[in-house]
Chains A and B, each alone.
Chain A
Amino acid sequence: MMLTAYLDGIGLIGPGLDSWLAARPILAGAAPYEARPIAVPAPQSLPPAERRRTGLAIKVALAVAQEAVATGKLDARQLAAVFASSGADNDNCDAICKALASEDRHISPTRFHNSVHNAPAGYWGIASGAMTPATVLCALDGSFGAGLLEALTQVAVEGWGTLLVTYDMPYPEPMHAKCPLPAAFGIALALSPKRSAQSLARIEVSLADAAPDVLAEPEIETLRRAIPSGRGLPLLQAVARGAGGRVVLDYLAPLRLAVVIEPCR
């Protein structure tokens, strides 16, 4: 079976990459990259009570998910969702571990339910109203590849439209020293089994051995290397350039993913 899908929408957020629409000319090489701290909008689609409880990882995940759905002019309630991240709400994890190492081990209910790896998927369900299947994956540095494979099998085997949402956020110290993620980052891809007027490209994914592609801009390449969800950037660079071709993405070394991209417009 060919693992193919139509890429209908993209979401992106990272340092100096404010959104897919803003970053597209930068990734295409038509505008300069300027590094600056990430700015993440609060998830307006959540009710205020839930919005107050969201940390950075959830905000990043929801921001890119929303951009992918919006750029693809899609109905989120019709899309299955695959979330993939090397960690979770890492500030929250640090706060829980600190409390559990202290005299008073009390942790709040919100801290606890935000500690699950699938918290962003839960908030996405509340925000979007989607009762479709949602899964949440981790393969540490291979998390983008693991998410892409799961999303492609959903599209190809089940015939679902699937929203892939990959995201990471840094740990505070002392965990940062053990897991030095430099910044929050997220990529979302809205994938469909059928071509539509919104389709940006047809992609075909297979397992591969070749060395992963790198980014033309050295500072963006640094993000690709340092952040698991950034491992998907070569795919976005190819789509931004609009020329099509084949890129290789990191997965579980030495296993990699080859993606053949055919632009739809």
Chain B
Amino acid sequence: MNSLWLSHFTAASCLGHGLEATLAALRAQKGGLAPCAFETVNDLATHIGEVAGLDQSPLPASLAEYECRNNRLAMLGLRQDGFSAAVGAAAARHGRRRVGVLLGTSTSGILQTEQAYRRLDPASGALPDDFNYRTTHNTYSVADFVRSAFNLEGPAVVVSTACSSSAKVFAAAARMIAAGLIDAAIVGGVDSLCLTTLYGFNSLELLAPEPCRPYDADRNGISIGEAAAFILLQRPADSLDADAVLLLGAGESSDAHHMSSPHPEGLGAHMAMAATLKAAGLQPADIDYINLHGTATPSNDAAEGRAVATLFGDQVPCSSTKGATGHTLGAAGGLEAIISALALRHGFLPGGVNTRRVDPGIPIQYLTANREGAPRRVLSNSFGFGGTNCSLVLGRAG
């Protein structure tokens, strides 16, 4: 595929608001997970990665109909790191119809509906009048919100393939740009804490009681997080700084195996990684660091580790940053693409946190401490429920 430029990007997660805070936390190997005291959830012994300050950040009046936690988190992200100004400039240069909005989410604003179901009219059973399905709960809400916030009129869509959602948007946006439908795209993802995911993963017995420990021999489940990750993707400028970050390839596959368990041999994961290397025109030896999906469930890490070992052996340093951020589900692909971009731009490999003893049964080079270096190409994995897989390769311009 033709390379695309991540001309601007920003992230908000439990590591902090914006790139500077995110980078500082990664540099310090400081995680953001804390015991779960979210909303009315007081009966789950687990840790979560909550974004600070959302309860005190209402949407501006002009966008009030979109009011929900997911869109508040989106708004927070859009206000960081000069992102809104960059989108405004792209819309002015290319035209409002030529900037697409392709975002991933798994939760959308479902929390709004969960709360509204507690306020049903006692006589009629009706939902409260102030509940707006279209602008909050509906899966498309966050893309509609971002499109409205920037007054854009181009193609827009939400990709919702569970935990690969905001990786797959890169592939879809690259196709739209290649097809000439758009000149730039806002991609990334927004996923927010809600009861469905907390109690849902609890029902699958996949919530770790302590902060999650990816690739640990004694790993015992995920920690759920939330995040907003936005990237402005466009064709590369004629001259780029050496530390400019490019999308070099995207690869997708399906497990065709099970709704909530990965293919045991990691076959779908292997296919996605091979497809992204092929799209980028690269060999396994060209990859300097892999940001693993690494959810810290026993089966995910075993399957992914097997696929990575098959393709890369133990030659490529790898880590999962979910020990620091939690698993941000529909935002994970976008957030981890940004973490990969920070690694490329600032010349370091982020070590995974919380992992005490790397699983000796997984023969990959797993980093538990940061390593200084000058990675030129980074691969990022995102795999989801229903067996949907996506791998991205990002690289430095010089």
Contacts and interface: CB of A to CB of B under 8 A. Distances in A.
Instruction: State yes or no: do A and B come from one complex.
Output: yes
Nearest to B261: A113
Given A118-B161, A138-B157, A254-B153, A105 B199 contact: yes
B372 interface: no
B346 interface: no
A52 interface: no
A254 B267 CA distance: 43
B195 interface: yes
A177 B175 contact: no
A255 B253 contact: no
A166 interface: no
A129 to B, nearest CB: 5
Interface residues of B, number: 64
A255 B95 CA distance: 14
Contacts of A22: none
Nearest to B256: A125
Given A86-B138, A138-B157, A175-B127, A116 B175 contact: no
A129 B255 CA distance: 8
B160 A116 contact: yes
A122 B388 contact: yes
Contacts of B387: 122, 125
Contact of B254 (A106, A130, A154): A130
Contact of B255 (A131, A139, A173, A178): A131
B260 A115 contact: no
Interface string A99-122: 011000111110111111111011
B24 to A, nearest CB: 34
B319 to A, nearest CB: 26
A156 B140 CA distance: 25
Interface in A192-249: 207
Contact of A107 (B181, B203, B255): B203
A109 B259 CA distance: 10
Interface stretch (B113-121, B281-289, B334-342): B113-121
Contacts of B139: 87-88, 117, 138, 140
B149 interface: no
B133 A113 contact: no
Contacts of B125: 173-174
Contacts of B260: 109, 113
A128 interface: yes
Contacts of A28: none
B360 interface: no
B158 A119 contact: no
A109 B160 contact: no
Interface string B142-156: 011001000001111
B179 interface: yes
Contact of A125 (B155, B168, B199, B255): B255
A126 interface: yes
A165 interface: no
A1 interface: yes
Contact of A112 (B159, B203, B256): B203
Contacts of A131: 253-256, 267-268, 271
A116 B199 contact: no
Contacts of A264: none
Contacts of B161: 117-118, 121, 134-136
B17 to A, nearest CB: 27
A156 to B, nearest CB: 6
A117 B153 CA distance: 25
B199 A134 contact: no
A19 interface: no
Contact of A157 (B143, B178, B259): B178
A99 to B, nearest CB: 8
B201 A112 contact: yes
A119 B386 contact: yes
Contacts of A123: 259, 386
Contact of B199 (A50, A107, A135, A137): A107
A135 B253 CA distance: 9
A243 to B, nearest CB: 28
Interface in A142-170: 142-143, 146, 149-150, 152-154, 156-158
Interface in B339-398: 384-388
A178 to B, nearest CB: 4
B114 A207 contact: no
Contacts of A173: 125-126
A3 to B, nearest CB: 6
Given A112-B196, A146-B155, A153-B178, A117 B127 contact: no
Contacts of B178: 1, 153, 157
A29 interface: no
Contact of B203 (A106, A126, A132, A179): A106
A98 interface: yes
Contacts of B179: 1, 3, 152-153, 156-157
Nearest to A83: B161
A97 interface: yes
A115 B157 contact: no
A100 B268 CA distance: 33
A252 B97 CA distance: 11
B45 to A, nearest CB: 14
A251 B156 CA distance: 10
4 tightest A-B contacts by CB? A122-B386, A112-B200, A133-B252, A117-B160
16 contacts: A105-B43, A105-B195, A107-B203, A108-B203, A111-B200, A117-B106, A119-B386, A121-B161, A121-B386, A129-B256, A133-B252, A135-B388, A136-B161, A142-B140, A178-B131, A178-B132
Given A100-B196, A178-B133, 9 more contacts: A116-B386, A118-B384, A122-B387, A125-B256, A133-B252, A138-B157, A140-B139, A157-B179, A252-B147
